[in-house]
Amino acid sequence: MSSSRRSTKRTVLQRQLRQLSRRMIFGTLSETFRTCGQPTCRCHHGGPKHGPHLQISYRGAGGKTTGAHVPAAIGERVRDGVAAWQRFQVVARELADLHRESAWAVHRKAADRR
């Protein structure tokens, strides 16, 4: 890839990272279905359980995994934030690969001049 194409690609990727960073949320999501505390409820007698309840898990203080219930009112925002975090990682990797290619290209040019 030419130097100018790398530069253009780098600019595009950096713009994507900035946009994603505004909404990303670190964590993974899971949905759970539960039984309630009412012994006569259908969920205790073969009926459908209550849910889905959205949970987010993430690495907290000291590297320990922790989590929290996600209120339904912000469920879509949290889903979007976690998806943005996952996309951010992909774009950051692509940018890092581009930087590596650029470093090698500079090295090759310098070696060719010798």
CA distances for 40 relative to 4, 48, 51, angstroms = 69, 13, 17
How many separate domains does the chain show?
Answer: 1
Domain range holding 43?
Answer: 3-113
pLDDT at 114 (0 to 100): 64
**Confidence at residue 56, expressed as pLDDT on a 0 to 100 scale:** 97
- Over its length of 114 residues, how does the chain's per-residue pLDDT go in tens digits? 677 888 899 999 999 999 999 999 999 999 999 999 999 999 999 899 999 999 999 998 889 999 999 999 999 999 999 999 999 999 999 999 998 988 887 666 666 766
One-letter identity of residue 71: P
What is the pLDDT, as a whole number, of residue 27?
96
Identify the bridge partners of residue 57 per DSSP, sorted by sequence position: 28, 67
Helix 3-21 to helix 75-113 angle (10° resolution) is 160
The pTM score is 0.78
Pairing outcome for strands 65-70 and 28-34:
unpaired
Q: Is there a contact between 70 and 55 (Cβ–Cβ < 8 Å)?
A: yes
What is residue 5's predicted lDDT score, i.e. its pLDDT? 87
